[in-house]
Amino acid sequence: MRADKAAFSLLTDVAMAAIGPRPSQPPASAGSPQQRRGADSGLVAQLARLSDAAGQPTPQLMADFAALSLGPGRVAITDYERLRLFDQGFWGPADRREVVGARRGRELAFLANPRREAFALATDRLASGAYLGAHGLVTVPTIALYRADLASPGANLLRSKGELREFLGARTGQPLVAQPAEGGRPRLLFAGQRHDAGGDVERLIAETGDLPGVTWLLQPLVPPHPSYAGLTGGRLAPVQFLTLASDDGVQVDRAVWRLGGRDDLVASLDLATGRALELFPAREPYHRQTAPADLVAPGWSLLRAAVTEAARLFSQFGLLGLEVAPSADGPVILGLDPTPDLDLPQLADRRGLLTARVQAFLADRRRLAGG
């Protein structure tokens, strides 16, 4: 069979799998033939566009995508583009079949972490911070909580916009961080020499009104370790870890350093030493440069020890993402995630998640689940 016909044959297999059951079976969601043809033509057009960037003929790229989409990582076309799987030069000698797409990554997280009732403890910053702190690990302290319209008073509980405005107005001289307990982007208040204190207060109050029924944590801005403070403008730079927990203990599988800044700079790390290997913008992982020889995540052994201890405390999770930052006073745990983002560690290391070690770990979790 000619290569171009083989490519279209593979593409047809992928398209048929995406369409779902035949009409003789109960369809999950029926689409018209026009809609299906539109989806197929959209896929072909997207691959044709990527072929220009890859410098490869479209049929060859179709065959490559089809093979990866049917492989263990089960990448979708959006994964294929986002993770630059069309760019074999980027991935080099790595086996791209080990790269996991977003949907497959979530499936594997649920396989590794079957105890869904424990997710709330891990993902709620207030609950997980209290749990970790009670066991001697350092987390960011909470000065006050804001939850509108609660009836019961509390020593550090703010229950109205008036109380929130009064609390913030009395602290405009110190940088604060406000963030939802259930997760979300932190908001930095009263930072910088020319900050607009009144504007910061009113913007946060308006935002809390847009998110009713949410508990907000008000916390101090923890100073970073002085070795990198100048690089980040005085902000913490968290190291994002992936850990695997089994009967044999906790293993640190991946780590990337989020240095942030205007380009959202990321550093790939040597797991043994914490030394930065390469630097790249998070949205442009192909724009890489060798990291300075002296750029090292400070207190690396202490960071790893804190991560290992936290993963042991949450051993109900086989796969866990943890954010731990080197602060001026040592490691501080910022958060946990039982369904961690897998894109960045795969891109940083230019190596897929499904290494032999991870596949053996997942096989063991599948066995424990009776699968």
Task: CATH number of the domain at 266, please.
Answer: 3.30.470.20
Provide the residue count of the chain.
Answer: 371
**Domain membership flag for residue 226:** no
**Of 192, 220, 248, which residue is a domain's last?**
220
Q: Supply the pLDDT for residue 371.
A: 63
Question: Considering the entire predicted model, what is its pTM?
Answer: 0.86
- What does the DSSP assignment read for 280-335? EETT-TTS-EEPPTT-B-TTHHHHHHHHHHHHHHTTT-SEEEEEEEEETTEEEEEE
Q: Are residues 124 and 259 in the same domain?
A: yes
Q: What is the pLDDT of residues 275-320, one digit of tens each?
A: 999 999 999 999 999 999 999 999 999 999 999 999 999 999 999 9
Domain range for 40 = 3-70
Q: Are residues 244 and 344 in the same domain?
A: yes
**Domain membership flag for residue 227:** no
Q: In total, how many domains does the chain have? A: 3
Q: Are residues 268 and 337 in the same domain?
A: yes
What span, in angstroms and rounded, lies between the C-alpha atoms of 306 and 322? 10
**Of 220, 251, 286, which residue is a domain's last?**
220
Q: Are residues 305 and 175 in the same domain?
A: no
Q: Supply the pLDDT for residue 18.
A: 35
**Of 70, 101, 126, which residue is a domain's last?**
70
What parts of the chain have a pLDDT lower than 50? 1-30, 33-38
Q: Are residues 252 and 353 in the same domain?
A: yes
Q: Are residues 178 and 244 in the same domain?
A: no
**Domain membership flag for residue 93:** no
Q: Are residues 46 and 163 in the same domain?
A: no
Q: In what order do the strands lie in the sheet with 187-189?
A: 157-158, 144-146, 216-220, 176-180, 187-189
**Domain membership flag for residue 84:** no
Q: Supply the pLDDT for residue 195.
A: 83
